[in-house]
A and B are shown apart, each in its own frame.
Chain A
Amino acid sequence: MTTAQGGTSAAVEARQLVKRYGVVTAVDGVSFLATRGEIFGFLGANGAGKTTTLRMLCGLLRPTSGMALIDGIDIQADPLAAKARLGYLDEEPFVHPHLTGREFLNFVADLYRMPRGQQREQRMARLLSLFDLAQKDGELIGGYSHGMRQKIGLASLLIREPSVLLLDEPTNGLDPRSARLVKDLLEELAARGTTVLLSTHILEVAQALCRRIAIIDRGHIVAIGTMDELRVQAGSEAANLEDLFLKLTAGPESREMIERLLES
């Protein structure tokens, strides 16, 4: 199945993505695809290559080889068209400390050439209210807490309704209420057709939200599929995501390590 642009119907597709820094290979032949309206989980240990993969998908990094497709558009071949369709939230959001929350949202909206006027203002007011930032919209972002920055970062994505969201630890630093809000929001967005690629360390969030999950370890995808498919791949019928993750990423048993440490 192909789109008008000649690509597949997948909303996000990584095709044999490789990223090398000198002799170090950060990502080595990663391939997966997320379909429209899907919340796709992307899990991995620290330094496994998650953020590098996401940054290649959103066009921040140029792959050494392979392709990153957004709505069937190669982001390296037609970056402007692909970027107009996606929103990327880094684990430490890119915000301007010297702008107020409202000014920042307007700045992002202008960058994406969104029409100005009442409709934009209304949407901005709704988002600020949704993220509990309405009272702070006149304050400079430099004075925001980490959680508030995360929320204004999310609001800056949602103000322009991208069809694909790439989120790196979106609930990082959020209080439980805000984290819950984000989870509900992602489910609602997915139900309306937005594709969400979610990178997280919080396995409960991934298990609860994601229809399919990819696990990356040392630059390679070691498992991909639904929870049931992951269980089959790991050979553990009744395991939860945490057990599967630990088994698939083959780390040494923590209990064993603790015992050795205490013995020494």
Chain B
Amino acid sequence: MAGPGALQVIVTSELLAFRNRALKRNPARLAAIGIILLFGAVVIGGGTFTVGATAGHFLTFAVDPLLAAAFTGLSLLMLVIGFPTVIASFFVGRDLLQLVVAPVRGRDIFVARLAIATSANLLISGILVAGVLGVGAGAGAPPVYYVLAALLIALQIVVMTCLQVILMTLILRWVPARLARDVAAGVAGLTGAALYVGWNLSLRQTFGRRGQADISNLTSLAQHIDWLPTAWPGHALTAAIEGSPAAAVVWTLATVMLAVLLMATAELLYERTLLSGLGTFGGAAMVWRRRSERPVTPSRATGAGSPTIAIARKDWLGFRRDVRRLTRLLPALLLPLGYAAALSQPSRSLSGFWSNVALVTFLSMFMSSALASPSVPSERRGFQLLRMAPLTMWQLLRAKVFIALPPVVATMLVFSIAVAMTGKSGVPQSLELIVFGLWLAVGFVSISVSGGAIDPRFDVTDDRKAVGLVGTLAAIGGSLAFAVFSVGALAGFTFGAEAATGTANLGPIPSTPATGAMMILGGVLLIVAGVVLTAVLLWIANARLNSFEATIAST
């Protein structure tokens, strides 16, 4: 009797590997992830369902643009967020080498990997499912709508996954294989950042002085994307709601044909590029090959070497040369630039000092999270070199803060000055904003470095996954608390000073010198709380690094 088919063997082994990875995890951590996922599903899924139901019920004229926009928007999100998973599933892993040398057809490998690669897109499409179900429920759609919705969402996932495979295979044909992943990551990152900034700007316009009603903005935007294949499932579902079976069948068939065409193309291209992609992505991090041999110039420095400067210099050199890390930073850098560009247009400028404070706080937190959180885990196996050297973990943390701080501070300075200038703030307020930006940068960077050090995953090669759940929660929670303390302190100082001179408008609270003094004291206490919080997180990080040996044991 013949054994199971290759496809079944591959999928079963992947499922077994997934089960084993899940079982290997700490049960408490698994439970925490489960609770967070459940909470997220209830809050995000429930919220999206409610929004969809409200729109389906009250905005019947906008159902088609809404569904078209939902499918298109989520497809773009899948394209950006799911890209790494698709690359990893189709081109990374030594197990692929095993499959290639085994008597397994390329088609079987493709189908098996397609089943695995859809996992990320499947997760993202959860939001789409909730929204589409909500629209159907709100609009009183017939039962066939829900069956069609399930089919079309599944097809959309396949379409986007195949599109990603096609993109990757085309990049592999044009770009040197060793740089292909980074080029792909760069394209995906830039697309995502551009989409985010674009979306944000459109929102700011909507709520701005020249703004029109939100829904008319959205429908006019959706009309422009009407022709996109990603909007076809939306049209099919609208036809199902409106009771036009012919139109629903036409749009559904068009989507099915598109999926079949893309699948066939992806499979064909994949078979041809599998070998050139293999071995390229599974190895060490991508490294730019130096164009030419530079003559080695001996260092003229004298005196004893400094571990802190050595670590900072090593990180700087590594960062400059690691294309992968650089491409992942681009979105983080693009955001402040996008905001600065948006704010430089007076008609879109946010008015008021506190809006600028909020923007500086958000951007500082964002930059610190992108740059500083993975700085300790990015040592990877090199961490063992540091553990063996005669240096303390305090020195390591100091070095990491030292290297992450300048870019965050520089961005904050540029941003604060730009915001202050475009907002035509006075010199004292501009200075306040700059000092506040610097304070935030120091705090957020220290907290983010601590978060990364509290739960580092040295075995992970992707910076975005390099900090575990506990570290991520510590960094985000710590940063949020620090932001609240800092903004509270600034408010205490600002309103306290005004109250002391009797010029503050504090509502029912009298504006007296005593009130002012109390508010300033409150500000000082909040500053102290911020410092204590940062110090505690750094202390925990130091203790964790000193006792860390989980990855050491497994490498």
Interface residues of A (CB under 8 A from B): 21, 52, 55, 58-62, 79-81, 83-84, 86, 88, 90, 92, 94-99, 102-103, 106-118, 121, 137-140, 142-143
Contacts and interface: CB of A to CB of B under 8 A. Distances in A.
Contacts of B94: none
Interface in B291-336: 293-296, 298-299, 301-307, 309-311, 313-314, 317-318, 321-322
B23 to A, nearest CB: 14
Nearest to B387: A60
Interface stretch (B49-57, B212-220, B363-371, B388-396): B388-396
A137 B296 contact: yes
A116 B301 contact: yes
Contacts of A92: 381, 555
B304 A116 contact: yes
Contacts of B287: 97-98, 140, 142-143
A47 B289 CA distance: 37
B302 A98 contact: no
A142 B321 CA distance: 11
A83 B549 contact: no
B284 A138 contact: no
Contacts of B555: 92
Nearest to B322: A98
Contact of B302 (A84, A107, A108, A116): A116
Contacts of A99: 314, 317-318
Contacts of A60: 384, 387-388, 549, 552
Given A83-B390, A98-B287, A121-B298, A115 B303 contact: yes
Interface string B544-555: 000101001101
Contacts of A112: 305, 389-390
A111 B307 contact: yes
Contact of B381 (A58, A94, A109, A115): A94
A61 B302 contact: no
A137 B389 CA distance: 23
Contact of B384 (A79, A84, A90, A140): A90
Contacts of A97: 284-285, 287
Contacts of B285: 97-98, 142
Contacts of A95: 382
Interface residues of B, number: 43
Given A94-B384, A96-B318, A110-B305, A80 B552 contact: no
Given A99-B318, A142-B285, A142-B287, A83 B304 contact: no
Contacts of A94: 381-382, 384-385
A42 to B, nearest CB: 18
Given A62-B549, A92-B381, A108-B389, 5 more contacts: A60-B388, A61-B553, A98-B287, A107-B310, A111-B307
B469 interface: no
Given A97-B285, A99-B314, A113 B304 contact: yes
A62 B284 CA distance: 29
A132 to B, nearest CB: 16
A117 B321 contact: no
A13 B347 CA distance: 74
A90 B294 CA distance: 30
B293 A114 contact: no
A140 B321 contact: yes
A143 B289 contact: yes
Interface of B: 284-285, 287, 289-290, 293-296, 298-299, 301-307, 309-311, 313-314, 317-318, 321-322, 381-382, 384-392, 547, 549, 552-553, 555
Contacts of B299: 106, 116, 121
Nearest to B385: A94
Contacts of A118: 298
Contact of A80 (B313, B314, B391, B547): B391
A114 B301 CA distance: 12
A237 B314 CA distance: 54
Contacts of B302: 115-117
B211 to A, nearest CB: 48
19 contacts: A55-B552, A59-B387, A60-B387, A60-B552, A61-B552, A80-B391, A86-B388, A94-B382, A99-B314, A103-B317, A106-B299, A111-B385, A111-B390, A112-B305, A115-B303, A121-B298, A138-B290, A138-B293, A140-B289
Contacts of A111: 305, 307, 310-311, 385-386, 389-391
A30 to B, nearest CB: 16
Contacts of A106: 299, 305, 310
A99 B285 CA distance: 12
A128 to B, nearest CB: 10
Given A111-B305, A112-B390, A139 B385 contact: no
Nearest to B301: A116
A140 B290 contact: yes
A107 to B, nearest CB: 5
A116 B294 contact: no
- The 8 residue pairs across chains A and B that have the minimum distance between CB atoms: A110-B305, A110-B310, A142-B287, A98-B318, A84-B390, A111-B389, A80-B390, A94-B385
Contacts of B547: 62
